[in-house]
């Protein structure tokens, strides 16, 4: 039987290597010159990068017993790979070197690093637990020889020292529900100071990369922070997550594992079963990338293979993928309702018998002239509104209620909340529900979007009418 951590592993691996290499998976490709964009925790004194030195996860646990929490910290650690040519009594760094029928490239590798901790909840409620998650420096040298056994160079792989700690604390919240707020904070505590001319690549060698945590419980259940129950709305909103995004993981019914990752996910993310293997692009475009791999020239394939073992694996997989597996990522139809609610096909109504709106026959609907009453004000085309994604509970001082972001669970909302928009049309769907098509007032591309009919859509309770009051601030 798979443990909760094993169930979560596949999605976590996708997070770990997101952006590790980009198509066409060659070291010389422009997209692979600037690497390691997600979850970087740099040394605190570093000024060569804008990456933070710490990340923090806060989540809620209900019905917590006394069984220990299993916390797994995972990240990549850069392994510098330098190719050097033998010259006289010494060696000189070079970008590439042929030896033994292979091409060796100077290019950084990545090594998975993992730290596991079993921490009893009572101990976490008493005091903060601090764990050392750093690693010492290391250096290996691989000699390169020609077919006659004569030395031609070497490959030097080197880890720089990494100093880091993980701080874990739990607090029991007041109230009748017995909720526990859990905090997991990971800090790069390295004392590395960049010298003159130090680059981001230098800093990354002393950094944690793609940092994320898996948290599992066998005694209790985590609450979704994207869609919390109404009774826990205020507590969920109080959770402070820095440079990470915690979600429930595993099957839809599971609440025993959380993944806190440096990329935005929804609850219960999964890797599509049709995916033939990792492509470092969140498996969203497997078919396209696999087909593109078949267009590489022999020289490009050789360079991709020399870039690293994971790139070589992708090249070999694409070359040997049978036609039936190429067809699998082309598309899949998944139900939008639980199986228990699904009807047998024989019970379905014929498509032609379903009621539908004929815009040519129904003259009572006119998106360009219709209006809808919002907070006692009629909103129609041309009205100015303030966007409140999820509902007016997003306003400061608004009465408590379900989290707006939780109900819609749309991470894009955080960038739209409080923005001023112009209503372009009032739409009525076949269920009799109104929707507002809007453009952002400060968007320089609004005219182009209006011309092409590309709008943002909100329900009436997700906007605040502004009327002609132009003195109000655009952001709360």
Which one of 177-186, 251-260, 335-344, 392-401 scores highest in mean pLDDT?
177-186
pLDDT at 465 over 80: yes
Q: SS3 for 428?
A: strand
- Between residues 90 and 19, the one the model is more confident about: 90
Q: What is the pLDDT of residue 244?
A: 93
pLDDT at 73 over 70: yes
- CB 390 within 8 Å of CB 404: yes
Q: What is the pLDDT of residue 89?
A: 83
Please state, rounded to an integer, the average pLDDT across all residues of the chain.
79
Residues 442 and 384: their CA atoms lie apart, in Å, by 12
CA angle 83–84–85, rounded 5-degree value: 130
Residue 348 binned pLDDT confidence (cut-offs 50, 70, 90)? very low
- DSSP strand E in 405-462: where? 420-428, 434-440, 456-458
The conformation of residue 353, written as its DSSP 8-state character, comes to G
- The tens digit of pLDDT for each residue in 124-136 reads 999 999 999 999 9
DSSP assignment of 11-42, as one string? HHHHHHTTTSS-TT--TTSGGGTS---SS-B-
| CB-neighbour burial class of residue 103 (10 A; exposed 0-12, middle 13-18, buried 19+) | middle
Across residues 75-98, what is the average pLDDT?
89
- The tens digit of pLDDT for each residue in 372-385 reads 999 889 999 999 99
Alpha-carbon radius of gyration of the chain: 27
Residue 8, Cβ neighbours under 10 Å: how many? Answer: 24
Residue 382, phi-psi category: left (phi > 0), alpha (psi -120 to 50), beta (remainder): left
- CB 203 within 8 Å of CB 42: yes
Q: What is the pLDDT of residue 405?
A: 40
The conformation of residue 367, written as its DSSP 8-state character, comes to T
Q: Which domains does the chain have, with CATH numbers?
A: 36-270 (no CATH), 371-465 (2.30.30)
Cis peptide before 3 (omega within 30 of 0): no
Q: What is the pLDDT of residue 401?
A: 38
**b/e map of 24-45 (b: 16 or more CB within 10 Å)?**
bbbbebeebeebbebbbbbbee
Q: What is the pLDDT of residue 6?
A: 73
- The tens digit of pLDDT for each residue in 388-424 reads 887 654 444 333 333 344 445 466 777 888 899 999 9
Q: What is the pLDDT of residue 228?
A: 92
Residue percentage of the chain with pLDDT more than 90: 36
Residues 97 and 152: their CA atoms lie apart, in Å, by 9
- CB 257 within 8 Å of CB 9: no
- Between residues 215 and 397, the one the model is more confident about: 215
Across residues 150-167, what is the average pLDDT?
92
Q: What is the pLDDT of residue 235?
A: 93
Pick the range with the lowest mean pLDDT from 209-218, 238-247, 268-277.
Answer: 268-277
Across residues 52-70, what is the average pLDDT?
90
Q: SS3 for 470?
A: coil
């Amino acid at each position: 039987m798979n443990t909760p951590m094993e169930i979560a592993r596949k999605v976590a691996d996708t997070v770990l290597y997101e952006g590790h290499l980009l198509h066409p998976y060659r070291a010389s490709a422009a997209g692979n010159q600037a690497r390691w964009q997600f979850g970087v925790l740099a040394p605190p004194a570093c000024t060569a990068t804008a990456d933070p030195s710490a990340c923090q996860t806060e989540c809620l646990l209900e019905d917590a017993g006394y069984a220990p929490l299993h916390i797994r910290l995972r990240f990549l650690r850069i392994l510098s790979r330098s190719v050097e040519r033998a010259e006289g009594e010494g060696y000189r760094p070079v970008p590439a070197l042929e030896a033994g029928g292979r091409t060796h490239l100077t290019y950084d590798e990545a090594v998975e690093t993992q730290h596991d901790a079993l921490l009893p909840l009572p101990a976490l409620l008493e005091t903060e637990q601090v764990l050392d998650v750093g690693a010492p420096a290391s250096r290996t040298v691989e000699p390169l020889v020609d077919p006659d056994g004569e030395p031609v160079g070497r490959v030097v792989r080197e880890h720089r020292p990494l100093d880091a700690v993980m701080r874990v604390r739990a607090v029991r919240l007041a109230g009748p529900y017995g909720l526990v707020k859990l905090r997991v904070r990971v800090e790069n505590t390295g004392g590395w100071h960049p010298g003159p001319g130090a680059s981001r690549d230098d800093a990354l060698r002393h950094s944690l990369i793609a940092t994320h945590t898996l948290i599992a419980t066998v005694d209790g259940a985590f609450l979704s922070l994207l869609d919390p129950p109404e009774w826990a709305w205020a507590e969920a909103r109080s959770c402070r997550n820095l440079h990470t995004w915690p979600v429930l993981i595993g099957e839809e019914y599971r609440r025993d594992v959380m993944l806190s990752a440096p990329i935005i996910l929804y609850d219960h993310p999964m890797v599509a079963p049709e995916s033939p293997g990792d492509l470092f692009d969140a498996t969203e475009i497997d078919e396209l990338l696999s087909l593109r791999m078949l267009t590489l020239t022999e020289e490009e394939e050789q360079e991709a293979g020399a870039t690293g073992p994971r790139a070589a694996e992708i090249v070999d997989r694409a070359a040997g993928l049978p036609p039936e597996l190429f067809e699998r990522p082309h598309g899949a139809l998944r139900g939008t309702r639980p199986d228990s609610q699904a009807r047998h096909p024989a019970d379905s109504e014929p498509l032609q018998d379903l009621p539908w709106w004929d815009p040519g026959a129904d003259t009572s609907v006119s998106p360009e002239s219709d209006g809808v009453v919002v907070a006692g004000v009629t909103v129609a085309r041309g009205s100015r509104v303030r966007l409140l994604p999820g509902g007016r509970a997003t306003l400061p001082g608004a009465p408590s209620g379900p989290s707006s972001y939780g109900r819609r669970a749309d991470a894009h909302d955080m960038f739209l909340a409080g923005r001023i928009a112009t209503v372009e049309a009032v739409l009525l769907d076949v269920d009799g529900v109104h929707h507002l098509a809007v453009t952002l007032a400060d968007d320089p591309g609004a005219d182009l979007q209006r011309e092409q009919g590309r709008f943002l859509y909100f329900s009436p309770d997700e906007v605040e009418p502004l009327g002609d009051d132009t003195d109000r601030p655009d952001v709360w």
